[in-house]
Amino acid sequence: MKSINCINEISVSYTKKQFTSTTIKTSAQAYEVAKEMYSAGKCQMELKEYFYIMLLNRANQVIGYHRLSEGGICGTVVDIRIALATALKSLATGMILVHNHPSGNLNPSKEDISLTKKFKQAGELVDITLYDHLILTSTSYHSMTDEGTSW
């Protein structure tokens, strides 16, 4: 008998939900969309860390979002390759990073800033602009762009 070699087929799915497409012009608008994402994902922000990317088109309209990881109390692991693959497959031209700090501390950690720099560099290679990185708590947010965080 002759063996048959199989190649895995990769597919991308799109699920239309009651998610209103919003044009993002400010971090406050991005924060409002992020709260919807966390609510839709049934995230318990005070319990553990979640990391999302918000995907934008050329008009800065939100075309979708993707949960990249769900971690523990003190952190989560994010694979930039998966994030970029998702952004490329969705034909996004921009992205906003969003994650929460269960501790309630809105200040970015050294790891947050380092990861943001890597996302910016990787996005530049494929013409996807990183607009911001939001850190959330259940009551507020920190915008790295608004605060002038160097990344």
pLDDT in tens, 93-108: 999 999 999 999 999 9
Residue 4 has a pLDDT of 63
CA distance 136 to 103: 10
Residue 10 has a pLDDT of 66
Residue 92 has a pLDDT of 96
Note the pTM of the prediction, 2 decimals: 0.87
User: In this model, does residue 19 exceed pLDDT 70?
Assistant: no
Per CATH, the number for 29-63+78-143 is 3.40.140.10
Residues 42-52: pLDDT tens digits? 988 899 999 99
Task: Check if the beta carbon of residue 82 is closer than 8 Å to that of residue 71.
Answer: no
Q: Which of 23, 146, 148, 45 is nearest to 102 (CA)?
A: 45
